Structure formats: structure tokens, C-alpha cells
A and B are shown apart, each in its own frame.
Chain A
Amino acid sequence: MAAHSSDTCNSKYVTLVSTEGFEYVVLREATLISPTIKSMLRGQFSEAKTGRCVFPEISGLVMEKIVEYFHYWYRNQDKTMVPDMEIPVDLCLELLVAADFLGLDKQT
């Protein structure tokens, strides 16, 4: 069991779970842009052990967009003149709240 948990801990991927229980498997490195997730995956939290972060306050629709952003950010890390990612207007405010929660308001 211990071996299993350490396995998932070092996995290249983490699982993000939305309100509805939808699971998104994302590259670990890409999620580290979010200070919130970064600190969840560090230390003695259960998330750090299982590599599974549950966000009961983020709906599936929003989570999908956030995951898309993680990959978009990861791909464009060192590029200049990055084209903007499309944000659906109706999700804008919810996404903004979620971005604030996840600490995605700073550029790194």
C-alpha cells in the first residue's frame, strides 16, 4: 500500500476532480502554475499522497477550461507572442472566480 501511494505521488500526472465528480488527469508540471495546487501537492496532505485534488466548488465546465489553460500555459511557457486562449463569455465570471481561487492571477 505504501509502495502504491508513493508510486502515485511521483507520477507524472495528477487527477483533478470537479463538483460532479468528473476527473481530469493532467500533467503534474502543468498544474504547478497554480500556487494553490502546488501547495496541495506538497507536504503531508492527502492530495500529496494520492495525487488527487478534489475541488467541490469548481464545476466540470469550468474545470475543463482550467485544464485546457494548464496545457496551454505549459505549451507556451518559453514563447513570446503567445496567441490568447479563447474564453467563452458565459463562463467568464465563474472562471475568473476559479482562477482567483487557484491563484492563477500572476504571470510566471
Chain B
Amino acid sequence: MSRPDRPQRRIMGPQSALTDFLASHNISAHQIRLDADARRRAAGQNPDGTPVEGSAAATEPTTTPAEDEAAIPEVTGRRRRTAAAAAREEKSKKQQKAIEKIKASKKFQKRKRASGSGDDSDYEEDLARAIFERTAPLPGQMENCAVCGKRFTVTTYSRNAPDGGLLCGPCGKDLAKAVDAPKKRAKRIPGALTARRQAMSSILDGTFKLGAKSLATLCIETLAKNIDLAEDLGDLPEPVIDKIARKLSKHRLLNSQTLSLFIQPTAEQVHIYDCAKLTADDFVRVFQTVPHLKKIKAYNAIHFKDEVVDYLLSRDIELEDFYLHGANLVSESKWKEFLEQKGKPLRSLRVYWTDKHFTNDLLALLETACPSLERLKVSHNEQVGAEGVKAITRVQTLRHLSLHLRKHVHPDVFVALLNSIGKNLETFSIAMMQGLDNTVLDAIHNKCRSLQKLRITESEVMTDDGFERLFKDWENKGLRFISFKNCRHCESTSPRQNPDNVGLCSKGFKALMAHSGSKLQSLNVQGCRHISASAFEEVFSADKVYPELTELEISFCEEVTDFIVGSIFRSCPQLRELNVFGCMKVKDVRVPRGKILVGVPNALGMVIEGTED
């Protein structure tokens, strides 16, 4: 006899891992097995499943003792009996509930009506019980799923359908999901705050537009979201395909699969705006599928390697426009081979972000290898220096030149360059070249006659007089684009003093607007902080109109006031965006409808549009 307070000692054989696991989750494998056995035994007594009067009652006494005995083997005599009785009671209660449910169900009512026996309660009871028996098939038996109707083997884990019957594996899982789903927190719906943030972000990006998006944009966005469903873009016009390509790249969805949508065998140009996920094989595939390729543009073309160039050299593709961004794995010797073999038809060569392999020697080849080169852009390049620029001097066909180098090049080299090829230049853009001085400006004034785009940034040597000389009586027509960003005097000890008028100041600015104002579309004088308020007021006075100007950047021009900003809006009817970051005297401007003023130093940071007409 064991003492009641002493814990029962269980002596058990080896357990399976599953049993342990279930036990840890408070599920008794033993119980499950016994339940299943009991049901199986019950089925044995009623093998054909025919409804026998009181069949449940008949099975009950036979099953319960066995069940109880096995389920609670430790309990002693009396407790065992009461427990058994309770269990039996509970079970019959459950059964009764199920039968009630069946009685209430539509199916049952229909059947009752069909049989014609109106209110015979005995018959009703029998029928309900019969249905109950049928809805509870046993493990190991075949049963039709209550939802999908598929035939499946019943296991002890089969779930009950919400309205009677059992579910097959997949349906059971679905049910479990549906039941559990509402527990998960609902996703946050993008509210007004995110929408506002989005609008502000698009203003800063310069992509802000009033009103609804265009239908084509909406379609392209939908398409980009579901690009995995698209197999072929069909015969959409080229600009639309290009837009889709841009959108996809923006979302970084361009990979080997989606690339196939954009390489049409009949195309002459392939623009890939994000090659980060492409491999060398993909580039080879482009050259394979597009035999008449003339223009290729590839951003983030990391895997544009020697082997790709090798393949390109082996084909008779004649490229006219070659635009490569970030291709650091093309070696110098391959570049050389490329220029020597494929340079003849090349009209435009633009190379961005290279460190080692795009060198002075390559630029020296241009004169002989590329007899029709019109556009050259070398940007973020660490190798090209004075030697390279000297080499460009000999390329007489150039129309557009754009350099953004890391090595310092003396202004004399640029003067020589302008003296040699300045006459035909339409674009002259030298970014971040410190030390460019007035001699360069004078050379532009003397030589350039067809310039449309001029960019000289970060020069801290040029003076106001130099700028004035450039624009005064210049035989060149008005420019379309000018950027003199950060051409200003920099001196940390006395920042306000500028005795030598270094940088673009009042006189230069007035001369600039007098010369180019009528044609100018985009002007950037960011950081030219010695342009005086009176110069601004004179340039944007009531009688002056700049009909083409759409973008104006005057950030960090300290003298700009509310009045000047208002005058600018008056003088520039086409103006879309005005940047005034760091103009601390701008406080409260009324902005005309549809115009964008960015960077006002208040909490909002930007004003979109005013109520003014």
C-alpha cells in the first residue's frame, strides 16, 4: 500500500521522442491511442455502419471501462469509478450536443421533410444519431473531406469541419490558418503621416506633381508589382518599355529573369538601369539576342567583365553609344582592345566610377581609334590626369565633354584644350576641379561659339571680374544650362570679407543673366554667397522676364530675402522649383500655385504651393 502523500512512482519503458514532445505539451499519446482503439472497437461492433437503435448506448459501456482503465491506471478503486462515471457523462453530453447540432442542421431538416414524418421525435432521434455515427469515421478508414470532397485516410489528427464531418490534411491546415489568422496583428495601413512624408520626399527628389498620376504611370506601377506574372511585354512602344525598365530597376527587381522582358531581338538600344543582380552571362545574352545593338547603357555593371568584352569583340555588333557605370572588372588591356576594334562607329563614350583601369593611355587612343566620337564623359575616375586631358585636346570631333576627375589638372591644360576644340563644344562640364582660374573663363569666352551647357564647380580661384569678362560681349548664344555651384571665396578666419571678389559675385551674376537669361532653363548658383541683394533685385526686377527658366538653385546665397524670392516668381513664369536651403532671410513667402519652393528654414522645411494665383 502506498501512502497517499507519496508521489506515485511511474515505471515506464522507453518512450519515443514524439511521446516526450507531446507530453511536454500536455498531450498524452497514450490517451490518443486509447481513444482511437475505442473508436475502432466500436466500429467493429457496427461494421456496416447501419444505424442500430441505441448503438451509441451499446458501445458506451464496452468502450469506457477499457478506456478508463488504460487512461488512468494509477487511480485507486473508488476514485476510478467516479472518474469513469464523470468521463462517461461528459462523453454522452458531447454526443448529445453533436446530435442536437445535427438536428438543427439544414441537411437534416431537408431529409426529415423528404421522409415525410413530421414530428415523430423517436424517428428524429434515430435519424440524427445515424448521421452522427456516419460523421465520425474511424482512424484508418477512408472518408471524404467535408470541404473539398477528396477521399483521404482518417487519422487521429484529422480535424473536424466546422459543420460536421472531417477534413483532409490540406483543408485541416487551411482551417487552422483561418482560425489562427485573426490573432495576428493587422498590418498597419499607411495613414496620412506616411502619405505626407512620401509627398515631401518626392518634392525633395524633384518628382513632385500636382494632381493624379498619369494612367501610363499607374499601369507601369501595377506591372512592376506583378512583374513575375508577365511573360512578354508584347509590342509596346520603346519609351513605355524604357519606363517599365526604370521602374523595375528602382525597386531593384531587375534580375536574369526580368531582363529577358527588355531585350528584344529587333531593338537597337538596351538600357539596363540596374545590373547589380546580373551576371556576366546575362550581358553575353544581351549581345546574343540583340544583333543590331547600337546603344547600350548599363548602370551598376559590376559583372561587365573581360569575358563580356571578349564576347562583344567576337560579334559584329557596331556600338554607337557606350555607357558603362561601375564596371571595374574590365582591365586596361581589354579597354584598349575594345577601343581599337570597336572604336570606329563609336559616337558617344561615357564611363562612370572606375578606379584602376580607365587610364590616360586609353584617352590617348581616342584620337586614332574613335574618329567619330562626339560625346565623352569620364566621371569619378581615379586614374585620368593631365596627360589624359592633353590627349582629349586632339579629338577634334568632340561636341560634348564632361569630366569629373580625382587628380589635379593645371588650368593651362584646360586652356589648351579649349583653344583646340572649344569652337565646336556644346557641353563643357568640369566638376570638382579646384584651381581652375580666370584663364579658363577667358579661353571659353574667346573660343566657344556654340556652347549650350556650362558647368564649373568648386573653383575657389576664379574672380567676379573673370565671370563678367566671360559673359560680356560673348559671341556665343545664350546658354541653356549653367552651374557655378560653390564657385566662391572660402576663408575660415574672415568668411564675410571678400576683398578680391573671388567667386561668382554681383557683377558676374548680372552679366550672366544679361547674356543668357532669355534662353536659360536651369541655373545653379548654389553657395555663391557674395552675390548681393541689390544684384538679385536688379536681375529679377519687375521689367525682366526669363521665359524658359524652370529650375533655379540659390541655396546658401545669404542675401536672398522674401522680397527677392517673390521677385523671382514674378520674373520666371515657367519656374517649377526654387531651392533656398540656407537662405536664412527667407521667412514667409507666398508661393504661387503649382510652384515648389524647397528648403525654407522653418519647421515645415518646404512650401508646396500657395493660394496665390
Contact = CB atoms under 8 A, between A and B. Distances in A.
Contacts of B199: 80-81
Interface string B164-208: 000000000000000000000000000000011011000000000
A85 interface: yes
Contacts of B221: 84, 87
A56 to B, nearest CB: 18
Interface in A63-79: 66, 69, 72-73, 76-79
Given A93-B233, A100-B240, A84 B220 contact: no
A44 interface: no
A105 B226 contact: no
5 contacts: A79-B211, A84-B221, A93-B230, A100-B236, A104-B216
Given A79-B210, A87-B222, 8 more contacts: A81-B196, A87-B221, A95-B219, A96-B219, A96-B223, A99-B219, A104-B216, A105-B214
Q: Which of A82, A92, A99 has the most CB of B within 10 A?
A: A92
B236 to A, nearest CB: 6
B92 interface: no
B234 interface: yes
Q: Is the interface of B mostly helix, strand, loop or mixed?
A: helix
Interface residues of A, number: 28
Contacts of B223: 92-93, 96
Nearest to B199: A81
B218 interface: yes
A96 B216 contact: yes
A100 B237 contact: yes
Interface of B: 195-196, 198-199, 209-223, 226, 229-230, 233-234, 236-237, 239-240, 243, 608-609
Nearest to A85: B218
Contacts of A73: 211-212, 215
B253 to A, nearest CB: 15
Interface in A33-74: 66, 69, 72-73
A18 B210 CA distance: 30
Contact of A107 (B213, B220, B222, B226): B213
Q: Which of B214, B215, B216 has the most CB of A within 10 A?
A: B215
A102 B230 CA distance: 23
A106 B214 contact: yes
Nearest to A89: B226
A95 B217 CA distance: 11
Contact of B229 (A66, A81, A89, A107): A89
B218 A87 contact: yes
A97 B364 CA distance: 47
A76 B214 CA distance: 12
Contact of B240 (A76, A85, A89, A105): A105
